[in-house]
Amino acid sequence: MVGLMADIQFNEPLYARPIAGRNRLPWLTGLVIRSGLARDEQGAQKVLLIVLVLAVAGIVWFAWPGGLTSPDVPLGPPLP
């Protein structure tokens, strides 16, 4: 029986399914590209790095102890 089925051929086209998770962009990188802020993955990574640096700078700015306009620190010479 095995010898009779050895010459069976199918004339259907083969459809290749992509492997899950392969060549797939991370969600945030894809969002940056779809929004038009970057053209490719490398540009999106640069945009995200700039956003991260600005976010950290903003956190440091607002979380600085006493703030930048603390009433204990004089902003100019004393008034006469």
Q: How many domains does the chain have?
A: 1
The answer to whether residue 30 sits within a structural domain is yes
- pLDDT value of position 36: 94
Whole-model pTM: value is: 0.54
DSSP line for 37-60: S-SSHHHHHHHHHHHHHHHHHHHH
The answer to whether residue 44 sits within a structural domain is yes
- pLDDT value of position 57: 92
The answer to whether residue 51 sits within a structural domain is yes
- pLDDT value of position 12: 72
Q: In whole angstroms, give the CA distance from residue 27 to residue 67.
A: 36
Low-confidence ranges of the chain (pLDDT < 50): none
